[in-house]
Structure 1
Amino acid sequence: MKKTTHQLKIGNSKRNFLFISRWGESLDIAYTTQQEGNSVKLFIEDKPSKEIGHGFVQKVQDWKKHLQWADIVVFDYTGYGEICEELRAAKKIVFGGSQYTDSLELDRNFGQNELKKHKVKVLPSKEFQNFEDAIKYIKQNPDMYVIKPCGEIQELKQLLFVGNDESGLDVIRVLQAYEKSWGNNFGKFQLQRKVKGVEVSVSAFFNGKEFLLPLNITFEHKKLFPKELGVSTGEMGTSMFWVKSSPIFEATLKKFEKTLEKNHFIGHIDLNCIVNGNGIYPLEFTSRFGFPQIFIQRAGINEPIGNLLYKIANGEKFTINVKKGFQIGAFIVVPPFPFEDKKTFNLFSKDSVVIFKKELKEGVHPMHLKNINDEWLITGNTGIALLISGTGTTMKDAQKMMYNRINNIIVNNSYYRTDIGDRWFEDSDKLWSWGLL
């Protein structure tokens, strides 16, 4: 097909990108956008994370002073929705959320009610303001539950607890422990009924009017240790693939298309679900980049990521050019991850060097790093060093590429999961049998 002048301009233009980051998580995207020939400036809000990205891209202290310079502003996290809307009203090109999508993610009760309003089946859940009422509720309604913190505290992923006791006794014990350690500072939380099945996410980019194809199907590995043992970390790794259509998408996210347009959303949105032979049960929204999802998606996208973000934010309608097969990624982390402990971080991890046995950096995504004299050093305070990705026509091919790349890297005291992607072989059989692939 012959390209129009406008399409050629978009493909060849070099632009000014201003990245607004909560914790520096979008360093890899900003750095890659710069390597593609664009000018990039990065602002990081969190003070302990301020060193992240130093030496990779230009850092700024006050992002508002650079708005006029920017051709596009990219927000990498939830909570900036009101600012995004103000900038869009001022005719800036913005990739980011809205007040509505902020609420979908941060206010779990709101998210569940919106799902019901859009005729999406949800699991029973109840919101609580204190532990005493929650414990009383479980005793009156014995069952398996999941504890889900709400608001900003949900970023402490180790606080999410998935119960296994059919009478809820394990959840009661955890709530009692939280009451002793957190008191009244915990804030709102949700108890959600637990069901067994396959945990799978469906996500898509949204250009302000409609979802762009293909869709992304993602399988997260959240526990610290292999075979889903240990504390919840948010994520240790992910496997994924792209599809033109999905029964899960049609039953859930697709129903939000008009609402997202009405509420001025332009960005990426993900809905995590539990699915089984009885149905599809949405768990929670992520209405921004997923981490590490976006890095692994980048490994599977066949066009410059900066160009992609600009076209989406500019309201372009197009099909994303992606690799066939599978993409996979694993975090390499260091102490005290997944916990916060400044003394441990300073003792074992701060300024540790990332060493490459061979100078091969394809599929290596810098996370909480700084670049000093061409040496990659760990900084920040959480201990997330790198995300390593791999791709392949089969899941085993993608795994092999990723773990070969991991074996090329030495980071003192580091650890990572050795089973990312293994779940796919059993999960895919179940999904096929339920008609969900």
Structure 2
Amino acid sequence: MKILVIDPSALALDFCLRSMSEGAQVRWFIRNKPEGQITVGDGLVQKVQHWEQHMNWADLVFLPDNAVYMADLDKWAQRGYPVYGANNFTAQWELDRQVGMDVLAAHDVKLMEGETFHSYDKAIAYVKSTMGRYVSKPFGDADRSLSYVSKGPADMVYMLEKWKRTGKRVPGFILQKFQPGIEMAVGAWVGPHGFASPWCENFEHKKLMVDDCGPNTGEMGTVVYYTEKSKLADKVLAPLEDYLVRAGHMGFVDVAVIIDDKGVPWPLEFTMRPGWPIFNIQQQLHRSTASWMLESL
């Protein structure tokens, strides 16, 4: 099997190496940064400079990310090329959090209170007027430091004013009302006929140290397992199956939630791509690294 990995952020070295160990030929595209070439995986995997020139070569085109090239890749997928990943439409469920919340609401999934903003001043005025405790989540591939769980309205206002003062730019962000509870997520792999795997329940751990001590990180680790039955999936993911098929989504979809003390799940966000580091853990659970992707196409 010939696999082209279009990986702008250089996330999929492990996937490439696993695929090669199973006999696949792999070509890996990484988007270099203005300050210079990314050296991750040098000497381990064949790298290519222009992914478009290798589309005809590939049996499978794997997308580890969904932030760039999506409109161009949609055109290739529409021409019948074996692209395994999100499309431009379903990527927006994650990149624009309000779009994702609208999708859930349209399928009768209960949502917590939240407002979308494109201005720090308007967000500050909103928090001052409501005096609520909020969680801030940025849109798109933004600075992770803009994700913040406030301790109260004064704390949230302080952070918003700090981001404004230091020039933190973001295409938009959502303020969701703080909901105490347990954070959990459920996902599944999607093929052209619907969900193509058992449910994948998972728990992220974001604090730097054990026992939830220390500052938040992007993610320190994840507990993952597959299960044939999931009450959480029945409530927040199964209702979307037909819509995911009609939308042409391929690959992983995941909904993260807060579960309150009454057992009610309140959605936080979508992930419309392989998650990191969850995908590295999932690979250890899969029977093969990539052949099942090609079969699902």
Change (3 A) 1:74 1:245: same
Q: Is the 8 A contact 1:223 1:229 kept in 2?
A: yes
Alignment-derived partner of residue 99 in structure 2: 110
2:74 to 85, 93, 96: 85
How far apart, in 1, do the equivalents of 2:214 and 2:181 lie? 20
Distance 1:186 1:265, change over 3 A: closer
Which digits, 9 at most, give the CA deviation of each residue in 1:220-245, with x for residues without a partner? Answer: 01122333344432211011111001
Partner of 1:45: helix, strand, or coil? Answer: coil
Cα displacement string for residues 385-421 of structure 1 (whole angstroms, at most 9, x for unaligned residues): xxxxxxxxxxxxxxxxxxxxxxxxxxxxxxxxxxxxx
Give 1:169 deviation, angstroms: 1.1
CA distance in 2, matches of 1:46, 1:157: 21
What is aligned with 2:31?
Answer: 45
How far is the alpha carbon of 1:283 from its aligned partner?
0.5
For 2:214 and 2:157, the matched residues in 1 are separated by 19
CA positional deviation for 1:49: 6.2
- Of residues 126, 129, 150, the one that matches 1:163 is 150
Residue in structure 2 matched with residue 151 of structure 1 by the alignment: 140
TM-score computed with the length of structure 2 as normaliser? 0.94
> Match for 2:294: what amino acid?
Y
Report the alpha carbon displacement of residue 115 of structure 1 after superposing the two structures with TM: 0.8
Question: Paired residue for 2:49?
Answer: 61
Question: CA shift at 1:139, angstroms?
Answer: 1.3
The answer on whether the counterparts of 2:138 and 2:173 sit within 8 Å (CA) in structure 1 is yes
Q: Which one of 236, 243, 265 corresponds to residue 252 of structure 1?
A: 236
Q: Deviations over 1:287-317 (max 9, x none)?
A: 000000111011122x1112122222x2xxx
Deviation string, structure 1 residues 195-242 (Cα, Å, up to 9, x no partner): 111100101000122112311110001122333344432211011111
CA offset at residue 189 of structure 1? 1.3
1:24/1:49 contact within 8 Å kept: no
In the alignment, what sits opposite 1:208?
192
Distance of 1:225 and 1:49 partners within structure 2:
33
Per-residue CA distance 1:352-407 (angstroms, 9 max, x = gap): xxxxxxxxxxxxxxxxxxxxxxxxxxxxxxxxxxxxxxxxxxxxxxxxxxxxxxxx
Match of 2:130 in 1: 141
Q: CA deviation at 1:278?
A: 4.7
Q: Distance in 1 between matches of 2:188 and 2:32?
A: 28
Report the Cα distance in structure 1 between the residues aligned to 2:237 and 2:101, rounded to whole angstroms: 13
Determine what percentage of the aligned residue pairs are the same residue: 30
Match of 2:183 in 1: 199
Structure 2 residue identity aligned to 1:169? A
**1:300 alignment counterpart:** 285
Taking the aligned partners of 1:49 and 1:112, their CA distance within structure 2 comes to 37
Equivalent residue for 2:256, pick from 249, 267, 272: 272
Please state how far the C-alpha of 1:143 moved relative to its aligned partner. 1.6
Q: TM-score, normalised by structure 1?
A: 0.65
Cα distance in 2 between the residues matched to 1:66 and 1:186: 34
**Segments ≥4 residues shifted beyond 3 Å:** none
Distance in 2, matches of 1:227 and 1:218, equals: 18
Instruction: Extract unaligned runs of 5+ from structure 2.
Output: none
Q: Deviation per CA, 1:29-86: give whole Å up to 9, x if none.
A: 1110011001000000142562111111111111111111111101110134323321
How many pairs does the alignment contain? Answer: 293
Helix, strand or coil at the partner of 2:208: strand
Give structure 1 stretches of 5+ with no counterpart. 1-14, 315-437
Please tell me whether Structure 1 or Structure 2 has the larger radius of gyration of its CA atoms: 1
Partner SS for 1:152: coil
Q: Which residue number in structure 1 is paired with residue 20 of structure 2?
A: 34
